[in-house]
Chain A
Amino acid sequence: MHLPLLNIIDTVRQLGWGGAFELLRNGIVLGSVYALIALGYTMVYGILKLLNFAHGDIYMVGAFLGYGVLSILGGPLAPTIAMVPLILLMFLGGMLGSGVLGVVVERFAYRPLRNAPRIAPLISALGVSFFLANSALLLTHGERFNYAMYQLGGDPNTGLPGPLNQPAFSVAGRPVTVVQVLVVSTSIALMIALTLLVSRTRLGKAMRATSYDREAASMMGIDTDRVIASTFFIGSVLAGAAGVMFGLYIGETYYLMGFLAGLKAFTAAVVGGIGSIPGAMVGGLLIGVTEAYAAGYVGGQWSDVAVFGILILFMLLRPSGLFGAKTIQKV
């Protein structure tokens, strides 16, 4: 008899602890990319109660910008500058470009609809998403561009990968590569920076005040339009960073990559409790790890089913998410 469940148990046995670790590792790396995208979703939702469906496409643009910087500086095979400044410049290009794009989108697609019924900016967000994805399609002719970072500093004759894809350390005989460490540690650093910004700085406090009660915040003299624009900038900068990270780690960028990643990050934000910053981080990791285990144990074709199954489960059982406050209706 052939039961799928037995298959899964078999696979788990076959892969063993080492395999389980590898899947966990892959999940955490992917999850830290999702978490960064989810942060932008959750911040914008927190301040405008808007699901910014264009956010995934801003991530896509960030990935392309990182690729653009890489190509301008000679590409992975013949870089004109050293590796560390090259990667820093790729991050800088992707983050700043995405950040500015986020501000422009807010200014022209959402701000005019600030006092419109909530469905209007939502539709506008879908429109921006299509606009960005299709603009990218026109500009790239639908081609896929590969960062191919394993070539950077590698040996083109033997195909030996460069330092980014060398193991940084091993656990149970399974390697963790430099790029994986880089992705996770950059993500953690950005999350710490964001947490400090929101909890300590004047702008961060104004963001929290505005997201709790926009009119009261403006009565305190807070320029709420500017605070909202800053929120979009910061959220989009994080998405841009996530795009570059994805490029460094997986490599392939194409015009539709923002769609699925955006939906998964949205799932992460909902699972964590939309509007909650720690929720987005934990949700992102949870989604990444789920995806990796589903792909490893059940099969790659099941990974999206597992991720969106979690979304449905949360919507049914705990719609406020892991960290979300139960909304109390004020009278």
Chain B
Amino acid sequence: MPMLLRLSGVNTYYGQIHILTDVDLEVAEGELVCLLGGNASGKSTTLKTVIGIVEPRTGTVEFAGEDVTGKNTSYRIKQGMAIVPENRRLFAPMTVRENLEMGAYLLGRAKKEDFERVYSLFPLLHERRNQLAGTLSGGEQQMVAMGRALMSQPKLLLMDEPSMGLAPILVERNFEIIKQVHEAGVAVLVVEQNANISLSIADRGYVLQTGRVVLTGPAKDLLEHEDLKKAYLGR
């Protein structure tokens, strides 16, 4: 399958601190890839490098056959990326509908079809559309965050720690939705600490440790990998 996203030799710094070292990472069209790692392993920085909030000092980011290194976030989103940020980051004082609109910001006016597509995935959001996002429960907020990212019909959905701060039952429901979105043909890059659940739905996985990719392979192989079992899977 053709490559959708390719990071090659990415080195990212915050000031003097070297965060990512020679990171190579690929996501093919329609693929579900997970990026695993503990705290401070560089997962979120990788994601920020992909979407252009952080620029790598060396290395390139290619998206949909184009070198987007040095292009700003708006440009990359226009090309078909969308993100569900860590902790969801909803616009709490705005309504559910307005939050969704912000997801389609670059398309100009949000279209009726886009709302309908998101509402059919999350019927509850239609019911709550005029409610302020900040008044929703954690699980509902996660739906808004997902819906907001899907408003722009992205080619690549980036998810930063979708299981963070959610009850186990909601985590499962959440990953079901991710799987559903993936089955609809959207490529997904999930950044997670919860290796078990993300590997169970992913095609491939990467493991980051102190800013380096230390392990990569098909998800089912990673699930069986001895080091990973010890470090993350608790088995």
Q: A299 to B23: give the CA distance in the assembly, Å.
A: 73
Q: Is the CB of B92 within 8 A of A220?
A: no
A-B contact count (CB 8 A): 58
The prevalent SS among residues of A at the interface is: helix
Q: Given A205-B101, A209-B102, verify A221-B93 contact (CB < 8 Å).
A: no
Q: Is the CB of B74 within 8 A of A205?
A: no
Looking at the complex, which of A69-77, A210-218, A243-251 is the stretch in contact with chain B?
A210-218
Residue B175, interface by CB 8 Å: no
CB of A277 to closest CB in B, whole Å: 12
Q: Which of B77, B90, B92 contacts A221 (CB 8 A)?
A: B77
Interface size class of A (residues with CB under 8 A): 10 to 19
Interface centre among A205, A221, A223 (most CB of B within 10 A): A221
Contact mask for chain A residues 219-231; partner B; CB cutoff 8 A; 1 contact, 0 none: 1111100000000
Enumerate B94-120 residues with CB–CB distance to A below 8 Å.
94, 98, 101-103, 105-106, 108-109
Q: Given A209-B102, A213-B89, verify A218-B94 contact (CB < 8 Å).
A: no
Q: Is the CB of A222 within 8 A of B98?
A: no
Q: Is the CB of B73 within 8 A of A212?
A: no
Q: Given A206-B105, A219-B51, verify A212-B92 contact (CB < 8 Å).
A: yes
Q: Which of B73, B101, B152 contacts A218 (CB 8 A)?
A: B73
Residue A318, interface by CB 8 Å: no
Residue A208, interface by CB 8 Å: yes
Interface centre among A216, A219, A222 (most CB of B within 10 A): A219
CB of B154 to closest CB in A, whole Å: 11
Q: Which of A206, A208, A213, A219 contacts B73 (CB 8 A)?
A: A219
Q: Given A216-B91, A221-B78, verify A202-B85 contact (CB < 8 Å).
A: no
Residue B83, interface by CB 8 Å: yes
Residue B53, interface by CB 8 Å: yes
Q: Is the CB of B94 within 8 A of A220?
A: no
Extra A-B contacts (5), CB below 8 Å, given A212-B91, A212-B92: A202-B105, A205-B101, A215-B53, A215-B89, A222-B74
Q: Which A residues are closer than 8 A to B by beta carbons?
A: 202, 205-206, 208-209, 212-213, 215-223
